[in-house]
């Protein structure tokens, strides 16, 4: 195993007839450049390095995770190595749980489209809060642009046989009526559900544990969040037998904790330190 990559393997047993193998990548925060990059893109790339060279070390230190000089390379090079590993492991799909880009820029969109065209397995992309930041640094809905790389960014489902992967963009911790209805509809169908989000949920034992070590900024279902966010959390907790797991990112650390019963919540650390999670559901 490549010592550069920091990969955790997770096995989830729910009684599938055929195992499903997934590979999760989160929080790459890429700022890519190419021959067509604008001055805005170039300045964004400079800003990225100034900001994230320190932040990735701070996050890793807080979580007691490894971050040394080997990770001081362009994040897209790390991203490509993680994808290569996902393919080597025989993954049925790659799950991206948000903040793959630090902002939505023309250069980033071109890079992603070119890369995905070469990948032989499906990519399931759930947006994060940084997918809401435009080239000017404003935080607002970027779905018109995100749709160039994510077909249904607000909410979507992906059929993997006995398992359905449901993605809900909760990067801004705002759950819309459409998203709530989408989750309800997904739960009414006769399939196991893997729920993919960006922000972890503040519910059950897992929520209490995360709230004790993190700022409430990182969790969905805290004071100030909209009513739909709490209703969403309630639906997840009440359907622990239907949902096989909750996957998230956002907190830049590996985490595994119980929501209730056999239902667990998993977060995967930042791709900036070559983190990934191999998930086998059987």
* Tally of structural domains, the chain: 1
> What is the mean predicted confidence (pLDDT) over 24-53?
94
Place 1 in a pLDDT band, splitting at 50, 70 and 90: very low
| Three-state helix/strand/coil letters over the chain | CCCCCEEEEEEECCCCCCCEEEEEEECCCECCCCCCCCHHHHHHHHHHHHHHHHHHHHHHHHCCCCCCHHHCCCHHHHHHHHHHHHHHCCCCEEEECCCCECCCCHHHHHHHHHHHCCCCCCEEECCCHHHHECCCCCECCCHHHHCCCCCCCCEEEEEECCEEEEEECCCCCCCCHHHHHHHHHHHHCCCEEEEECCCCECCHHHHHHHHHHCCHHHCECCCCCCHHHHHHHHHHHHCCCCEEEEEECCCCCCEEEEEECCEEEEECCEHHHCEEEEEEEC
Q: What is the pLDDT of residue 133?
A: 86
Q: What is the mean pLDDT of residues 30-41?
A: 94
- Domain CATH code at residue 135: 3.60.21.10
Range(s) of the domain holding residue 256: 6-281
Rounded mean pLDDT, 74-85: 97
The CA distance from 231 to 273, in Å, is 34
Q: Classify the phi-psi angles of 226: left when phi > 0, otherwise alpha if psi is within -120 to 50, otherwise beta.
A: beta
Least confident of 138-152, 176-190, 236-250: 138-152
Domain contains 245: yes
51, pLDDT greater than 60: yes
Residue 1 lies in a domain: no
225 part of a folded domain: yes
The yes-or-no verdict on residue 81 having pLDDT over 60 is: yes
Residue 238 forms part of a structural domain = yes
Instruction: Encode pLDDT of 111-135 as tens digits.
Output: 999 999 999 999 999 999 999 987 7
Look at residue 2 in the predicted model and tell me its pLDDT. 67
Average pLDDT value for the chain: 95
pLDDT of amino acid 94: 98
pLDDT the model gives residue 86: 98
- Taking the chain, what is the end-to-end CA distance rounded to the nearest angstrom? 23
* Paired residues of 9 in beta bridges: 278
Residue 124 falls within a domain, yes or no? yes
Would you state the pLDDT for residue 138? Answer: 84
């Amino acid at each position: 195993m490549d010592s550069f990559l920091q990969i955790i393997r997770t096995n989830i047993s729910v009684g599938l007839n055929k195992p499903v193998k997934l590979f999760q990548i989160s929080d790459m925060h890429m700022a890519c450049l190419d021959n067509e990059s604008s001055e805005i893109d170039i300045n964004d790339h400079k800003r990225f390095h100034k900001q994230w060279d320190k932040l990735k070390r701070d996050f890793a230190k807080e979580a007691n995770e490894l971050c040394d000089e080997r990770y001081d390379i362009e994040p897209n090079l790390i991203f490509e190595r993680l994808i290569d590993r996902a393919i080597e492991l025989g993954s049925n799909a790659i799950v991206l749980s948000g903040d793959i880009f630090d902002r939505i820029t023309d250069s980033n969109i071109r890079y992603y489209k070119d890369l995905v065209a070469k990948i032989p397995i499906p990519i399931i992309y759930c947006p994060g809060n940084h997918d809401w930041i435009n080239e000017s640094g404003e935080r607002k809905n970027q779905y018109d642009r995100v749709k160039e790389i994510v077909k249904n960014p607000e909410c979507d489902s992906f059929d993997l046989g006995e398992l359905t992967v449901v993605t809900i963009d909760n990067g801004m911790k705002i759950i819309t009526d459409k998203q709530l209805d989408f989750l309800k509809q997904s739960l009414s169908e006769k399939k196991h559900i893997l729920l993919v989000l960006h922000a972890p949920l503040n519910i059950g034992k897992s929520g209490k544990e995360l709230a004790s070590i993190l700022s409430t900024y990182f969790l969905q279902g805290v004071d100030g969040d909209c009513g739909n966010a709490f209703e969403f959390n309630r639906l997840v907790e009440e359907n622990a037998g239907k949902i096989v797991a909750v996957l998230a990112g956002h907190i830049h650390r590996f985490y595994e904790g119980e929501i209730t019963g056999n239902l667990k919540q998993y977060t995967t650390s930042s791709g900036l330190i070559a983190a990934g999670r191999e998930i086998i559901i059987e």
